[in-house]
Amino acid sequence: MVITPFDNKPPSGGGNRAQRNPAEKERFVLAHLSDPHMAWAGPVKKRDLLNKRLAGYLKWRFFRNTEHRREILTILKEDLDNTRPDHIVITGDLTHLGLPAEFKKARTWLQSLGTPSQVTVVPGNHDAYVRSDWDRTFACWLDYMRSDPPCRNGGRVRGLDDLFPTLRVRGRIALIGLCSAHPSAPHLAIGTVGGPQLRKLETVLKQTGDRGLFRIVAIHHPPLSGIVSRRKRLTDAHALRGVVARCGAELMLHGHAHRMALNTLDTRSGRTPVAGAPSASSSSSDHQRRARYHVFTLTASENACNVHMGRRVYSPDARCFIPEKGTVSPVTGPLALYRCIVGKHGTRIG
């Protein structure tokens, strides 16, 4: 199977990322960030807190608002303007309590990052904290989440179940979005993909694989065990891993853990890298939790795709994002550069 060069021409509709040097035309640069937790700083109506949100609100007021800083997101945006990725993937928890005001605030932030064709969003458990009015919440992000047209259901979407899995194709890249976000009990932060979505995922992975596309699966909850505690787990992670093991995928991205993670998932055809980004807004003194985003540079050659993973971490001293060198994950060991070979027998990392 021959992988043709990536088409990294910016999508129509403008945006803030300029054309790269023509000599770099065969590259596709993807930025992955997650969990900005943009809370609403204004007054909150009491009736909006008469549910799971009350515990989250108190936790925010007395603990987490000191960690997640809006000014770090502003600095991150400036750094992305210099990095100039062809596409940005955000793996959920854009909001903290899933309030309509937070959805609006996140929508404004998304617009500052790029157009809906340049930015792909999947929801997190905080975005689906409680059952909410679709039109006042997720509908605000619909054009950042939905598949390329033509959309299923004639484009009429009234819930996350109508929307996912999503598929967006950019050149030789297939961006496949999954939804693991559902309201859960107050003490839980679990996620579930569900049987219908898994069955559709199987079809999408097979079809995009047959087309020779580089398949990137984005989901909020980690698909591997041992990354988060049981109360934060993906309840059907085993089934999801089974689908990916059968059908293959070239890269999986997740958030939720608030720690950088880099692992691999064994499939019938090889190993799929599974990369987790910490919160994009965290000012934590714990280096593993501090704000980061990942930059994947995919370079096509005649029959392979070289993938380089770079990390940019927030420096509180310099008040900017800086490149991070070396191994930071105690779980995975060094995997800064790997070669992903797509062939008729699947994907291998060498």
Q: How far lies 127's CA from each of 25, 92, 109, 150, 318, in Å?
A: 36, 7, 15, 26, 31
Question: Please, which residue, 146 or 233, has the CB nearer to Fe ion?
Answer: 233
Q: Which residues contact 335 (CB under 8 A, 6 or more apart)?
A: 262, 264, 273, 309
The C-alpha atoms of residue 329 and residue 217 are separated, in whole angstroms, by 21
The interface region with Fe ion, picked from 86-94, 142-150, 166-174, 313-321 by CB under 5 A, is 86-94
CB of 215 or CB of 220, closer to Fe ion: 220
- Distances in whole angstroms, Cα of residue 140 to Cα of each of 42, 46, 100, 339: 19, 23, 9, 38
Three-state DSSP state, 87: strand
Region from 43-51, 125-133, 294-302, 328-336 binding Fe ion, contact rule CB under 5 A:
125-133
Which residue, 176 or 277, has its beta carbon nearer to Fe ion?
277
Say which DSSP state 233 is in: S
The tokens for 96 are: 């903290």
Which of residues 124, 165, 177, 222 is near Fe ion by CB under 5 A? 124
Residues 6+ apart with CB under 8 A from 185: 52
By CB under 5 A, how many residues form the interface with Fe ion? Answer: 4
Residue with Cβ nearer Fe ion (256 or 311): 256
Point out which residues pair with 168 in neighbouring strands. Answer: 175
| Minimum CB–partner distance for residue 222 and Fe ion (Å) | 10
Residue 129 vs 321, nearer CB to Fe ion: 129
Indicate the residue among 120 and 125 with the shorter CB distance to Fe ion: 125
Cβ closest to Fe ion, residue 34 vs residue 197: 34
Q: How far is the CB of 4 from Fe ion (least distance, A)?
A: 37
Residue window 248-277: x/- pattern of binding to Fe ion, with contact defined by CB under 5 A: --------x---------------------
Q: Segment contacting Fe ion (CB under 5 A): 66-74, 91-99, 131-139, 276-284?
A: 91-99
The residue assigned the tokens 């059968």 is: 246
> What part of residues 302-341 is at the interface with Fe ion (CB under 5 A)?
none
Q: How far apart are CB 333 and Fe ion at their closest, in Å? A: 25
The residue number whose beta carbon is nearest to Fe ion equals: 256
- Interface with Fe ion, residue 233, by CB under 5 A: no
Closest by Cα among 268, 249, 184 to 221: 184
* CB of 56 or CB of 116, closer to Fe ion: 56
Among 8, 115, 118, 125, binds Fe ion (CB under 5 A): 125
Rounded distance between C-alpha atoms, residue 347 and residue 299, angstroms:
15
Q: Angle at Cα 14 formed by Cα 159 and Cα 220, nearest 5°?
A: 35
CB 142, min distance to Fe ion, A: 21
Output phi, psi for 159, to 5 deg: -175, 165
Give me the least distance between CB of 22 and Fe ion, in Å please: 40
The rounded distance, in Å, linking the Cα atoms of 343 and 305 is: 10
Task: Rule CB under 5 A: choose which of 93, 102, 127, 236 binds Fe ion.
Answer: 93
CB of 296 to Fe ion, least distance (A): 21
- Residues in Cβ contact with 199 at an 8 Å cutoff, skipping those fewer than 6 apart: none
Residue pair 86/162 in contact by the 8 Å Cβ criterion: no
Longest dimension (CA), the chain: 60
Q: Which is nearer to Fe ion, 182 or 339 (CB)?
A: 182
Given the rule CB under 5 A, which residues bind Fe ion?
93, 124-125, 256
